[in-house]
Amino acid sequence: MTTGTFNAHFLGGRLSANAAARFRMASSPAAQLPAGLQSASTFEQAQFEDLRMSTQWALNPGRRLAFSPVASLRVDRKTHIIADDNATPALDLSPLYGLGNTIGVALPVGYSVQAIPVHLTFDPEAARRLSSSDTHADAAELGLNPFQYWARARAAAAWTPINRLSILAEAEARVREDAIRDQAVLGAELRAGLRTAPTDGRWQITALVGHSPLKALGSPAFRGGLALRWTGLDTATDDGGPTLPPGRTLRITIRDPEGSPLPATVSIDGKPAVTVDEGNGTLLLSVPDDKPHDLTVQSPGRATLNQVIQAPDAPDWNLERVLPPGGGDGVFAVRVLDANHRGVPDVRVKYSRPDAAEPPIDLGGVCGDCGLTYSGLPEGTYDLALQAPGLAPGTAQATVSPEPPKAPDDILFLAPIPGRVGIRVVDKKGRPIADTNVQIVGSEPTMVPLDSDGEATVKLAPGRWAIEAEAPGFGRHQVPIEIDPLRPESPFVSMVLLPEDDDDARLTVEVKDAEGIQVGGATVFVGDVPFCTTNNSGSCSRDGLAAGSVSIRVEHPDFLPDASGTILLEPGKGQKKVFALGWQPGAILIQVRDQDGRAADAKVLLEGPDGIVEFRTGPAGRQKKKLDAGTWTAIVRESGYRAVSIPFEVKPNGNTQVPVALSLLPEVDSSNEDAATLRIFVVDETDQPVQGASVKLDVGQPGTTSNNGILSVPIPAGLAQIAVRQEYFDPFEVEVEVEGGAVQDVEAKLKSRLGKVQILAVDPDDKGIEAQVQLTGPGGDTRQRRLARDGTGTYRLASGYWEIAFASQSNGFGVRDVDIVRETADYEVKWIGIRSAEPAVLTAPDRRPTSVELWSRPADAPTPGTVRLLGPEVLPPYTVGDSGTWTGELRPGLWEVVATAPSLGIGGDDLSVAAGDTPLTMRIELGEVQVTLTDAEVNIDDTLYFGLGSAKLEGTARTSLEAVARTLRSNPGLRTIRIEGHADRSGSDDRNQELSEQRSRIVLETLVMMGVDSYRLESVGYGSSRPTQVAGADGAARNRRVVFRVLEETDAVELSDDNAP
């Protein structure tokens, strides 16, 4: 039998169309025919056998593992049987040896063993007959029945010892089902052959011979095939150069910085690669497999490029690289990470040399996570400009020398775009949902349109926000987030909407660590269904849940896996569950900030039982580590800054994250004999180390104590002012004389302002048990913590009555209380848990009914207006009508209520909401001070005046500043405010300048004390250079003033241009 085949390929080889025709060259004895036709021939002469047409789609072409589904259609001729003696009449029957007119499917699977190289194929196929099963009655009497179904499986191997020649081996097994007798017929065949590409590789010729040791009806014992294939790809050079060896094809384009093509040679893993020149600087080469490989690109007069490459999942693999001019021995390594220390895969790099007159060199888009280096560059210092999608542009300096910098000094960081938040809303199968409504809840509620993938990007002003999503038939999902301008990060909020239930039960889950700090990235499960994933606010909530008893658990890779419990959801009601997780042992958090409190990238060294660990904190100024138990010391090793060091202890079975907070201080010359080291020990009244104590010197703030209570900093010899602050203790200040060349130890013994409470949880055998605790105190103050593994915890609490709830995984739930009478006393609370079949879960106190009334002072009556509630939850602004009253429910805790009304300005007050059912009421009086906003200023109708020759605010100024502070807190779009101080002409110019600066600075500090973030404020003094136009004594008083100038204002919520309407 002879076969002719034609193949055409499209879409880069991913789609192919095939046609094959077979011709039978000679008849053979049909040993499986009935006795009457043992010597019959099925053919009188060579003739057409069948025609097969198919299409094939390559899912992963060129990879070591590939799948290529095939759909086929086959058309057979009719079978013509003639007996040898010519006595039996000839029979014209439906096709017998194939399936006749059939439709079939196949799923070939290929795998390449690159080391040999051999390509293995497994090709299963099944087909069904399309024509009728009826056959000639005479044939039925002879037992010749058509086949209804047909299947085969083929295993093949192709070995390519040299280019353009492959040796083939195949084995095939077949089964055919008799349509009438319901009988399976088996067959098998072994084949061998050769494949070659004789000219330019566009054509392939395949020759096969086969033998059937187990023949089906009509199958010959031996047969041969010849196939001619058109590949459509020139894999050889015009002069008959080598074709590409098997593997994944890479198309790489090499250009100079001006975009002109360059001739280049390429090596893979140090060996010259076989390439095909497509012209215009583009080369084709074959990468052996999908593992990482070293790529080297060289061109005369250019720097040499080295990087690691790995085949992508996409079918097309293209690279474009720029080779800058060479001429030196310098090496430049491109290693770019984001704030989470993940490699940036696509970054555009430009560099220039400060001492050179040439324009900047554009390296184009490169990979920041592939070990990319350029060698052979001129040595020197290079100024770099970096850009990457979704990240803020960055600049850096790099030293190019024969020895490239070692880790971590080789890292370049790109920070996220401040306030940028990604949003994705899908169903539980990951599909976007039609008619989804997404709203940003905060100071300016904003609807956010999603694109066709259910995604959107927004930019938010600093502050606390909530993202809500809902769609018809699905329950509402809310995720709070916080934008901290001092810590660059780009949150991504992924929300999975679940079908809504008529019970409409509501559940909020808050996740914290053992110290009560919110945990982001925790996955909450209700039953086995993912409920939500927390963001940096540590909480999430859903509406529209089914009522009933459900199990709930929380998972996070950094925490111990023991946060679970059973809860009861009630129809139409909401509840809040809190989990306090225990960290994996050895967890620490290193944070570095500058003197303005902003996150800073710095090199940090850790010394301890594991030796020395070096790393950079990155633009987020933080790095999590997991260390062995023992005493460690963290030291700042950043060039130009002092080597501040903080020792800390890692406990073998701890469940808390050890915090280490360092600050960058300008460098002091430690080689100077007058330089010294100041070591500060911070302890409480019982000489126990105090963690979290902020140390401030007259030269700046070096850091915050860790759990050893010690901080060391190099300082010049002489008089040093030391101030220590900790939220639970009275301030401590001391002045010491530091001797040059010595280590000066100073003990700062702090006096507690709160009661010290020792909590102990034990089982019935008096053995300590790990448990979560919730402490609820005066004014709704609620805290969640996790006791240590031995069941102990020490907390400092304010005077008043406190309720302490315990929740254990093995010992159930319990409540104890304590009355803190004397803040300097020590207290002990012990809880004995009973053995429980189900883990207990902490429940936050229920919301309390609350009403707020807006009152007009001028009219002495209620007034319509807007109410904003700032507190434990993120709520939208509420508009009230003529009654002037807002009514709702608030969670226990401290709230700030801010109210505004037309022509009455702004007002507000703090509201402590304690747990309880009794409704709370408060009145906000408006009209005392008006604050108005313009594009240029924050205006108050009661100007801040100062006494003659004084920087002290007059009596009414505090009320006015409170109104300004509330305005700034409730308008995050006012990014930067400049406080301008002025003076009258009564003093000298120098004195007036000094007074104006003091006045603006006093106002700034007062606003910060009132809760306005310091990064939003700056102060300046203009002396008497900008007087008002009012003459006389009244004009002089008006000149002793402060003005609030708006320097930067943006929308609180900015939608990305990429969002679909």
Q: Are strands 336-337 and 412-413 parallel, antiparallel or unpaired?
A: parallel
Distance between CA 808 and CA 564 in Å, rounded? 10
- What mean pLDDT comes out for the span 34-42? 47
**Is 32's pLDDT higher than 70?**
no
Q: Render pLDDT for 374-403 as a digit per residue (tens, 0 to 9).
A: 999 999 999 999 999 989 999 999 999 998
Per the model's pLDDT, the better-predicted residue between 998 and 577 turns out to be 577
Q: Render pLDDT for 633-692 as a digit per residue (tens, 0 to 9).
A: 999 999 899 999 999 999 998 899 999 999 999 886 655 667 889 999 999 999 999 999
Q: Render pLDDT for 126-185 as a digit per residue (tens, 0 to 9).
A: 888 776 555 555 555 555 556 677 788 889 888 877 766 788 899 988 887 765 556 777
Lowest mean pLDDT among 36-40, 222-226, 1004-1008: 36-40
Q: Are strands 446-448 and 437-441 parallel, antiparallel or unpaired?
A: antiparallel
**Is 764's pLDDT higher than 70?**
yes
**Is 765's pLDDT higher than 60?**
yes
Distance between CA 1020 and CA 1023 in Å, rounded? 10
- Contact status, residue 676 vs residue 743, Cβ threshold 8 Å: yes
Confidence of residue 986 (pLDDT cuts 50, 70, 90): confident
**Is 728's pLDDT higher than 80?**
yes
**Backbone phi, psi, residue 306, to 5°:** -130, 135
User: Over pLDDT 90: what percentage of the chain?
Assistant: 47
Lowest mean pLDDT among 78-92, 546-560, 797-811, 841-855: 78-92
**Is 40's pLDDT higher than 50?**
no
Q: Render pLDDT for 889-926 as a digit per residue (tens, 0 to 9).
A: 999 999 999 998 888 888 889 999 998 889 999 999 98
Nearest to 672 by CA among 717, 736, 719: 717
Confidence of residue 64 (pLDDT cuts 50, 70, 90): low
- What mean pLDDT comes out for the span 794-806? 93
**Is 884's pLDDT higher than 70?**
yes
Radius of gyration of the chain (CA): 40
- Contact status, residue 274 vs residue 286, Cβ threshold 8 Å: yes
3-state SS, 327-394, equals: CCCEEEEECEECCCCCECCCEEEEEECCCCCCCCEEEEEECCCCCEEEEEECCEEEEEEEECCCECCE
User: Over pLDDT 70: what percentage of the chain?
Assistant: 81
- Give me the long-range contacts of 635-641 (CB less than 8 A, separation at least 24): 635/604, 635/605, 635/606, 635/607, 636/592, 636/602, 636/603, 636/604, 636/662, 636/664, 637/602, 637/603, 637/604, 637/605, 638/602, 638/603, 638/664, 639/603, 640/666, 640/667, 641/602, 641/665, 641/666, 641/667
Lowest mean pLDDT among 1-5, 605-609, 842-846: 1-5
Mean pLDDT of the chain: 84
Task: Give the pLDDT score at 240.
Answer: 45
- Contact status, residue 1021 vs residue 1002, Cβ threshold 8 Å: no
Structure tokens at 42: 């099925």
Task: Walk me through the domains of the chain, giving residue ranges and CATH numbers.
Answer: 2-230 (2.40.160.40), 248-413 (2.60.40.3070), 420-581 (2.60.40.1120), 587-749 (2.60.40.1120), 755-843 (2.60.40.1120), 848-926 (2.60.40.1120), 931-1049 (3.30.1330.60)
- The torsion angle over the Cα atoms of residues 53, 58, 63 and 67, rounded to 10 degrees, is -80
- What mean pLDDT comes out for the span 605-633? 93
**Is 58's pLDDT higher than 50?**
yes
pTM of the model: 0.74
- What mean pLDDT comes out for the span 704-712? 96
